[in-house]
Structure 1
Amino acid sequence: MKKTLFNIGQKSKLALQENISEKIKNKVLKDYCYLIKKNKSKILKSNDKDLNFAKSKKIKDNLIERLKINEKKINEILISINNIIKLKDPCNKILESWKRPNGLNISKVTIPLGVIGVIYESRPNVTSDVSALCFKSGNAVILRGGSEAINTNKVFSDLFRLALQRNNINKDYIQFINSKKRNFVDLMLSEMQNYIDVIIPRGGKGLVEKVQKFSKVPTIGHLEGICHTYIDSEADMNMAAKIIFNSKMRNTAICGATETILVNDKISQKNINLIFEKIYKKNCKLIGDLKFKKKFKGNVQIAKDKDWTTEYLAPIVSVKTVKNLDEAIRHINKFGTMHTDAIITKNKIKAQRFLNNVKSSIAMHNTSTQFADGGEFGYGGEVGISTNKLPPRGPVGLNQLVSYKYQIKSNGSIRD
């Protein structure tokens, strides 16, 4: 097993030696789109196998939803790849340049990160998104998807490798570990530091905690998406109702879904019911404190401490009443995961105070937290959302998958 992984790592390093122009990169991605369209039925059949396996293992409904590929999701994948094609190649760009009195001409130039290892669960679209982003940014990638999606992932990765071959590019820019054995993950984390430059985990809390705890390779990732939306006393209540519905219910299974709603104590009973009526009618379970329970006409389960630290990924939301903006900020900074947090208010001074003081990697004003997505940021797609304090933070797209080096030229300068 170790020998197999080392061989994969060596192939990735070898692939990186090729210098590929932006024109050829885009040609590969266009061919990949063509192959996905041509093999749509094959993708759907493979996904049916994975769905049947997942259901037989009684995998949770929210994970089944993430696993599912249909015509709509294939079209979304194609849109994402086409958006990546439109973006400029981020490699070999001069970020800054300057001259020094000592005769040095210094340039700060972007370079690929190298070999990226991605460990992920459930979502087969990660295979296509990550492959496209890593390749366009000049990186090789080693993919290790979850066992529940192995058939779909293999088809997507095989099609990308075929697109590379058609353009006479080393197909090992993209490699997929076609095995359900969990030991491969352990070995990637503990034995591959000579081959992998960065590990990116995409999955549940257990996976990300494991990667962060045991990886000997640098990591980019987020632990959970416990996202908050705070409704201020000076909010437009109709806007609040609209944003809350979208933030929670548009897609409950994504990490950008709002999991806790904070409501200002001054908001009237009438407005509380206006805001929460629509999500309640859509069978969203409300878990709230006593003050909220007294104001809302529908059924409310009393919240426990664990509810403020729970990522539901389902039509469930916790609601807490707060006295003011400062209490809302304190709650978010204590219980949040530095993912995405929003304020709804007409008061621009309060909004700016919120944006400045929450620790989130993405802070929003009068905006649905469901916009926490690289595609929506104009990145074409994302490898994930980083909640690390060190860069990159937020959606990790094309321009976040490069580092830089300093290139220095002179006319024979020597130091005194």
Structure 2
Amino acid sequence: MNKFMNLIGVKARNALKIKIDTKIKNKVLNDYALLLDKEKKNILIQNKKDVNLAKKNKIKENLINRLSINPIKLKGIQVSIKKIVKLKDPVNVTLEKWRRPNGLNIKRVSVPIGVIGVIYESRPNVTSDIASLCFKSGNPVILKGGSEAINTNRILANLFRKALKKNKVNENYIQFIDSKDRKMVDIMLSKMDKFIDVIIPRGGKNLVKRVQDFSKVPIIGHLEGLCHTYIDKEAELKMATNIVYNAKLRNTSICGATETILMHEKIVKKFCNPILKKLEDNNCKIYGDNFIKKNYSGTLYPAKEKDWSTEYLTAAVSVKVVKNLKQAINHINRYGTMHTDSIVTKNKKTAAQFMTNIKSSIAMHNTSTQFADGGEFGFGGEVGISTNTLPPRGPVGLEQLVSYKYEISSQGKIRD
């Protein structure tokens, strides 16, 4: 098994040595999008196998939703690839240049990060998104998807390799570990630091925690998406209602879904019933503190300490009343996961204070947290959302998948 994984590592390093022209990159990506359309029937058949097995194994409904692909989702995958084609190649770009008094001409130039290892669960679209983004940014990628999506991931990865082969590009720019054996993950994390430059985990808390605990390779990733929406005393009711409903219920299984609503005490009597009733009427379970309990006329479950640090990933939300902006900021910085947090207010100064002082990688004003997505940011897609304090932070798209180096030239200068 070690030999097999080492061979994958060697192939990836060899692929990294090959520099590919932007026109060829875009041709590969366009061919891949066409293959996804041509092989649509086969992709849906393979996905059905995964979904049926997941149901048989009694996997949670929200995970099955993530796993499922239908013609609309497949069209969305193709659209993402075509958006990446249109984006500027981020490699070999002069980011900055200057001339020093000592005669040195200095340039800072973008370069690929290197070989990227991605460990992910459930979502098969991650296979196509990451393969496309890594390829365009010049980074060979080793993909280890979850066993629950192995049939779908296999066909999506093989079709990318087919597009590479058609354009006479090293197929090993994209390698998929076609195995359900979890030991493969352990080897990637602990024994492939000579081959892999960075690991990106995409999945639930347990997977990301395992990666963080055992990886000898640097990591870009987030542990959880515990997002907040704070409704300020100067919020507008209709806007707050629409934002909260969308932030919580548009898609409950994504990491950008709001999990805790904070309300300023001065607007609770007017705001809590219309906002929370709309959620409850759409089958959302509400956990609230004592202040909410006194003011909400619907069904409420008492919030416990653990609710403030729970990522529900389903139709459930915790609601807390705060005395002021400072208390809201303190709550988010204590219980949040530096993912995405939003304030609803008409007061621009209050919004600026909120966005400056929360630790989140994505801070929002009068906006649904569900916009925490690389595609929505104009990145064409994302390999994940990073909550690391060090860069990259937030959605990791094309421009975040490059590093840089300094190129120095002179007219024979020597140092005194």
TM-score under structure 1 length normalisation: 0.99
In structure 2, distance between residues paired with 1:381 and 1:271: 36
Query: For 2:405, what is the secondary structure of its paired residue?
Result: strand
Q: Identical aligned pairs, as a percentage?
A: 64
How far is 1:103 from its partner? 1.4
- Match status 1:162 vs 2:170: no
Match of 2:184 in 1: 184
Instruction: Show the counterpart of 1:141.
Output: 141
Distance 1:280 1:268 in 2: 17
What secondary structure, in the 3-state scheme, does the structure 1 residue paired with 2:223 have? coil
1:405 aligns with 2:395: no
TM-score by length of structure 2 reads 0.99
Instruction: List per-residue Cα deviations over 1:37-64 (Å, max 9, x = no partner).
Output: 0001111110111011111211111111
Deviation at 1:270?
A: 3.5
1:342 corresponding residue in structure 2: 342
Aligned residue number for residue 9 of structure 1:
9
- Once the two structures are TM-superposed, the CA of residue 15 in structure 1 deviates from its matched residue by 1.0
Q: How far apart are residue 219 of structure 1 and its match?
A: 0.5
> Which consecutive unaligned segments of at least 5 residues does structure 1 have?
none
Q: Supply the AA of the counterpart residue of 1:219.
A: I
Map of 2:152 onto structure 1: 152
The alpha-carbon deviation at position 269 of structure 1 amounts to 2.4
Q: Distance in 1 between matches of 2:294 and 2:39?
A: 55
CA deviations 1:88-140 (Å, max 9, x no partner) are 00000000111112211110000000100000000000000000000000000
Counterpart mapping for 1:19-30 below 5 A:
19-30=19-30
Aligned-partner Cα distance in 2 for 1:293–1:391:
41
The 5 Å alignment of 1:273-288 reads: 273-288=273-288
Secondary structure class of the residue paired with 1:152: helix
* Partner residue in 2 for 1:395: 395
Say which SS state the counterpart of residue 349 (structure 1) adopts: helix
Q: Given residue 138 of structure 1, which amino acid in structure 2 is its aligned partner?
A: G
Equivalent runs, 1:91-110 vs 2, <5 Å: 91-110=91-110
Provide the secondary structure at the position in 1 that maps to 2:343: strand
What one-letter code is carried by the residue in structure 1 that aligns with 2:298? G
Q: Which runs of 5+ in 2 are unaligned?
A: none
Q: What's the counterpart of residue 382 of structure 2?
A: 382
Q: Distance in 2 between matches of 1:74 and 1:295?
A: 45
Q: What's the counterpart of residue 363 of structure 1?
A: 363
Check whether the contact 2:385–2:393 (CA below 8 A) recurs between aligned residues: yes
The letter for the 1-side match of 2:82 is N
Deviation (angstroms), 1:274:
1.5
The aligned counterpart of 2:224 is: 224
SS of the residue 2:399 aligns to: helix
Q: Is the contact between residue 268 and residue 292 of structure 2 (CA under 8 Å) also seen in structure 1? A: no
Q: How many residues align?
A: 416
Secondary structure of the structure 2 residue equivalent to 1:267: helix
Q: Which amino acid aligns with 1:222?
A: H
Verify the 8 A CA contact 2:157 2:174 in the aligned structure 1. Answer: yes
Deviations along 1:143-196, one digit per CA (max 9) or x if unpaired, are 000000000000000000000000000010000000000000000000000000
Match of 1:213 in 2: 213
> Aligned partners of 1:81 and 1:371: how far apart in 2?
19
How far did 1:221 drift?
Answer: 0.2
Equivalent pair of 2:342/2:365 in contact (CA under 8 Å): yes
Q: How far, CA to CA, are the matches of 1:310 and 1:60 in structure 2?
A: 17
Tell me by how many angstroms 1:268 deviates.
4.2
The equivalent of 2:245 in structure 1 is 245
Question: Which secondary structure does the structure 2 equivalent of 1:404 belong to?
Answer: strand
Q: Secondary structure at the match of 1:260?
A: strand
Tell me the equivalent position of 2:234.
234
**2:332, 2:72 → 1: CA distance?**
35
Say what the alpha-carbon RMSD is for the aligned residues.
0.6
What is the CA deviation profile of residues 3-53 of structure 1, one whole-angstrom value per residue up to 9, with x for unaligned ones? 000000100111112111111100000000000000011111101110111
For 1:315, the equivalent position in structure 2 comes to 315
Q: Which residue of 1 aligns with 2:258?
A: 258
**Whole-angstrom distance in 2 between the partners of 1:81 and 1:179:** 26
List structure 1 segments (4+ residues) > 2 angstroms apart after TM superposition.
268-271
Report SS of the residue matched to 1:338: coil
For residues 27 and 296 of structure 2, the distance between their equivalents in structure 1, rounded to whole angstroms, comes to 56
1:290-305 aligned within 5 A: 290-305=290-305
The answer to whether the 8 Å contact 2:131/2:174 transfers is yes
Give the letter for the 2:322 counterpart. V
Report SS of the residue matched to 1:363. Answer: strand
